[in-house]
Chains A and B, each alone.
Chain A
Amino acid sequence: MLRNKTNNTDKIKLNLKSSKVYVLGGICAILAVFSIFLTIEAATSGAEIAELQKKEAQLLTQRQDLQESLVESLSVNSLQEKSIQMGFTKVGNLVYVSSSVPVASLPNVNVGQ
């Protein structure tokens, strides 16, 4: 009976050892997979960043081009040409008119009335 007991204890110890190994192995495997996953992610993020940088440069260029178009269309020279095309003419001799305009006086407001 004592021998059986010893055998059982040895078996339990062996089982515990095996399960520890399995758990450790599992954790290592997860870490390894995670590590590989992160490395791949970092590598592909580099490509994404390069792509975003390229897009940023393109957008900045487009913005610059649009600003140039806007500035050109709003230039004084351009507006002068357009105004002539639209039939506007420069104001000729200005006539200044001086007159006194009658203004109604403010009503008297008595407090308490």
Chain B
Amino acid sequence: MHVKIRILLVIFILLFLGLTARLAYWQVIRGADLSQKAQGQYDSSTVTSAPRGNILAPDGSFWVLRNNVWQITANPKLIKDSPEKIAERVSHFLVEKPDDVASVSAEVFRINSLLSKKNVSWVSIAQKVSDGIKKNIQAMGITGLDFIQQEGRFYPEASSAAQLLGFVGKDEAGENVGYFGIEGYYNLPLSGKPGFVAQEKDAKGIPILLGGSKQVTAINGVDLTVSVDKRIQIVAEKKLEEGIAKYGAIGGTVTIMNPHTGEILAMVGSPSFDPDKYQKYGNDYFRNPVISDSFEPGSTFKVVVMASGIDMGAITPETKCDICAGPLNVDGYQIKTWNNEYRDGSTMTDVLVHSDNVGMSFVGQKMGADGLYDYLQKFGFGSLTGIDLQGEAAPALRKRGTWSNVDLDTTTFGQGIAVTAIQMVRAVSVIANGGYLPTPHVVTKIQGDGWQEKIDPPAPIRIISQKAAEETAEMMVAAANIGEAKWTKIPGFTVAAKTGTAQIPVAGHYDPTNTNHSFIGFAPVKNPKFVMMVTLHSPTQSPWAAETAAPLWYSIARDLFPYMGVQPD
């Protein structure tokens, strides 16, 4: 008996030792490895996205609103129905024109080929699908389809202000990035900063509260309030499109700015694009011509030169031109007036009213090349304006001290010098506001969660005297009232303005058939509420800006006056 008990005891001891050894193996030798694997199962880390900021108009309505869109994906291995039947059911929701048989057929083919890939377990069917369409497709109950929420952008005013707003695309890593305009310039503050959550979760994905957790809160993107007024912008766009069609132009711009603060009230470029479908457009459409495209301004530039000459003391509005009796010969070139009419003894006001190129050459000669260069620099030409939009360009001025006589003379009437529309508007604002150079800007306020901050641009700097500004403004009033555009002015309203018809440089010479037309002005003259410049590229209906850009300017102004409370004199 004792022997049997002892044998049993030995067996139990051996079993116990075996168990201990096995436990030691799993808990000690393999312990670290298994613990790591277990941690991989219950540890969960997620990047929490930061919602992109919105862009608001001055009245609090939205120019751009972030919204929820969906990516439709599929696992072809789980598709039970025929891929072609699924494609036929779904394709109508994913095309722009469901009535267009060709586009629907193409979509069916595309989706069918994606769903037929049985060797992959994930394909993307469509991106940025609206919530309504997603619900319709989801209601079909198609096995194998999945929906991933994405962040999108909603443009309540459709393609209005597209070039100014910019758009949100993807970078190389597939992350949202703003391109052009406000979305590009303010991409970082609009994007915010993603957060991070790491916590232990059970097999069902439920957080284990007693477990460890780490969290970095996401910082939401800020909202931006811009100065661009919706109604003014939409009116300007509508009128520009009408003007382009009426005058047979290939494009154009309208820029409207508050001359005192530099706030942009409207900025239009045509042709433009739809920011919701930016993929369908080429890069040329994304450029904002107001800030990116340079052109020779022609006679609109004369007002800047006049203001400079008066401030310098080289001329007064009453100074008489003693070379205006006929064409001017300079460096082997002949400078003529636009209509070959010459008035000996013209005053400077007459020179501006009749847009006399010879008279302007007289002003240039009185100022000298270096004097004119210095004033052009003061007016901001040759430099960026500093506007808070991505894509601004600043054509360089010819180097100081390298100007020939013909360079000087042609610059005085806006040829042989390249500017952008925003530079011109900024320069004329100096005349409108009594001599201060403003900084054009679009964003006026930044708002975050529970805080907001006003954006103040640099204070305007005085660059010409108030007297010089006022005298130039009066000359511009005379130009608007009795110049070649007088036929189109609005009765009862005093406007300071100037036309410009400029030849277009092509490969070292000027195109004999094409011209750019512009009209720039401000109103009311005493305390201007806006400066506006209209440009039309290569209009074909008339060779003169007085018959194209000028009436277009007044057509927009006619709507602006009551809206902005501008009363007749």
A: residues with CB less than 8 A from B are: 39, 42-43, 45-47, 49-50, 61, 64-65, 67-68, 71-72, 74-78, 91, 94, 96
Contact = CB atoms under 8 A, between A and B. Distances in A.
B207 interface: yes
A112 B521 CA distance: 60
- Interface core residue of B66, B154, B205, B568 (most chain A CB under 10 Å): B154
Interface in B484-512: 492
B206 interface: yes
B283 interface: no
Contacts of B156: 71-72, 74-75, 77-78
Given A61-B68, A68-B65, A42 B158 contact: no
Interface in B190-228: 202, 205-210
Contacts of B131: 65
A94 B206 contact: no
B157 A64 contact: no
Nearest to A53: B207
A65 B209 contact: no
26 contacts: A45-B209, A46-B202, A46-B206, A46-B207, A46-B208, A47-B206, A50-B205, A50-B207, A61-B68, A61-B149, A64-B66, A65-B67, A68-B65, A68-B68, A68-B154, A71-B61, A71-B62, A71-B65, A72-B154, A74-B61, A74-B156, A75-B61, A76-B157, A77-B156, A94-B562, A96-B567
B521 to A, nearest CB: 20
Contacts of B562: 91, 94
B230 interface: yes
Given A42-B210, A50-B206, A61-B68, A77 B61 contact: no
Contacts of A46: 202, 206-209
A28 B462 CA distance: 86
Contacts of A74: 61, 156
Contacts of A77: 156-158, 160, 234
Contact of A71 (B154, B160, B234): B154
Nearest to A57: B149
A44 to B, nearest CB: 9
A45 B65 CA distance: 36
A75 B206 contact: no
Nearest to B208: A46
Give the residue among A45, A64, A74 with the most B Cβ atoms within 10 A: A64
